[in-house]
Chain A
């Protein structure tokens, strides 16, 4: 990349370079990855056929199912074995159709992360510091270490790089006080320089500490929020606790790829177009700014498991290409996973992001979950705090009827408990219909 170029030129330049990278990755995967060779042969394509982005789009997308079904024999590049000490293992938190086991060279994942984090330059030193005092606090299956087990000791959960993994419970809201007390004590001892957290988990811990630890909060440090999309009410609670001068940065990552996008100091979520060749597609064509688009990712590293035209199932909107922060990576808005979208009459009625915008971050609200059980059956459960007054939530119910139709059956209930997904992740919007539509091949 030539730093003397203007931002738009930088993007074009990068696109060109990346496409050369794509061609190399295709040639590499075709030669070394059995699954991909078969995939190309089924489409009657060879690497030589891919001379332009238009040619590239002729390769049928690959999906999580391909990588799950063919792991490890047919997706591992020739020359690698699962015993290779350079490989890092990444189990996804998903269950059944969402589950996946991935391995990749550790340095490739680190490079993708560093490329992504370049979007927030002041964070880079603390991010790459070694040894470090980082905290990881996320769903048990996301912690990628068995030691997130709640019955373990602090020393069992201290990784060699200095990252402390906090103990977690599968069903977040039933976490025993003993574990939360232990988390609070360990945070105090560890005095973290940076947090890598699931925002729902962290907001829950903050609420607990405020209520039961004499108003104490975790030691403030920059927060990298990942694992699940951050709803506004969780963000409010974390930012309220740490203050606006402590960076809160949303990070999009996937267990099979690593970091994909990072929020800049001005709040723009930038896609890492350096480590990946990115496609944002709507009805099979590149999406226009503002349109809903699905993210397809192609890796460029000639690594252990190349991903080519990998259909993520994650939906975004490209919002701008000229963020005032000065970084040339394009800015996107997360709309959520397609399988979590709310549908009416086979069309998208509301995205998880649209739902969160509708709800906002009122001070009285601690947590919520929307669920679509079938075409016209919905439930909305919410947990409030001491600032809540009767009827404050009415605007949400009204809006839901407006967006989803007055003919729906909606259970709308204030509660003290909302279950976590069995994966240990807390998703604020889930949909049986969305799941079915996605599995049946619904595409934007």
Chain B
């Protein structure tokens, strides 16, 4: 039975499995255990069907012409925008469709008229996408982290005294899985008049974020980390600020009028969506949000925190593993980065987990090299879960690691 026929009180992974055809895949005799969700999530058939429906039944371009199919596509596309707006508590014209989180953050960094001597406060555990666009343009200052990998709020308060133009927060680290106290940090940043930019790529798949309640100015996230297709991301920007940003790309679909003496930009958000956008991506994203809403964000959050606790407690039982620890009462997503204390090439270990056990994990610097190098002095393996993962999946991972540990 699919989730479409269920009124779920909590997450029933057996039911959900039917919606994910890939979870039935057997690789070299091993059933698939997918633990690379922080990189990208699997897609349920409801999302795949919507994407296919667009190409099979509609296929037309949007906002270009009056024909029936174009209007149908345009309506669905804009309804997708409204769906996102309601999902994050913004207005429809504050939602810009972009390629991914990286592009969204680059649009903001490139559009805010930041100069080299402006301060931008950045988190040490930022993904490169919320670090490099700022370092290229401004004087970035990193918020210190404590020995547990958690943000040092006293240092943050000190840095705010510099009067930063922007505070670029990472809601949930894609390396440690630790959540920042974003509401508190936003309140502090607002007191010094900073623009607050939030990278929500790792957090929004697991919990509702209401941009109005948080008081942030910009937020970026990607569809593919929350069941949607790749190549479609979202930039939320507060109306007044979006109106101040200059679009990076100029071309079709983002102007009201062009003549030889100049042009008139379209209203927000359309002025940021030059050229034909990822239309099928919006169909998939809309279906993904609907799917997650059916599961319920409270259920998603609970499941994420439970698996996060299990990952961490099982890792702590194993002396041979090196992990980012965390203090008590700190919220942690089901993401665990680790390496073997005795060494061993993490790429090879990830390959062994995959090929011998059917467990898919990520290895490398996780696009967060300063943080990973600081804590691990090199690359790591990362296991990251989503709601279709079970406690058994996690125990399989540790059983495999227990076996592999002996060969190093």
Contacts and interface: CB of A to CB of B under 8 A. Distances in A.
Interface of A: 95-96, 99, 151, 171, 173-174, 176, 373-374, 376-377, 381, 407-409, 411, 413, 415-419, 422
A411 B85 CA distance: 15
Nearest to B70: A96
Interface string B221-244: 000000000000000000100000
Interface stretch (B74-82, B276-284, B383-391): B74-82
B154 interface: no
- The secondary-structure label for the interface of chain B is helix
B91 A173 contact: yes
B344 interface: no
B165 to A, nearest CB: 25
Contact of B91 (A95, A174, A381): A174
Contact of A377 (B74, B85, B256, B294): B294
Contacts of A381: 86
Given A171-B92, A413-B86, 20 more contacts: A96-B75, A99-B71, A151-B256, A171-B82, A171-B91, A174-B91, A373-B290, A374-B4, A376-B7, A415-B89, A416-B91, A416-B212, A417-B85, A417-B86, A417-B90, A418-B86, A419-B79, A419-B85, A422-B75, A422-B78
B72 interface: yes
Contacts of A417: 85-86, 89-92
A95 B294 contact: no
Q: Which 10 A-B pairs have the closest CB atoms?
A: A419-B82, A174-B93, A417-B91, A422-B75, A174-B91, A96-B72, A171-B92, A419-B92, A422-B78, A95-B75
Contacts of B91: 171, 173-174, 416-417
Contact of B92 (A174, A176, A408, A409): A174
Contacts of A408: 7
A417 B71 CA distance: 24
B239 A174 contact: yes
A12 B86 CA distance: 52
B70 to A, nearest CB: 10
7 contacts: A96-B75, A377-B290, A411-B293, A417-B85, A417-B86, A417-B90, A422-B79
A171 B93 contact: yes
B269 to A, nearest CB: 10
B80 to A, nearest CB: 11
A415 B87 CA distance: 10
A173 B256 CA distance: 21
Nearest to A406: B7
Nearest to A68: B68
Contacts of B82: 171, 419
Interface in B34-78: 68, 71-72, 74-75, 78
A96 B90 CA distance: 27
B391 to A, nearest CB: 26
B264 to A, nearest CB: 8
Interface string B7-48: 100000000000000000000000000000000000000000
A416 B86 CA distance: 9
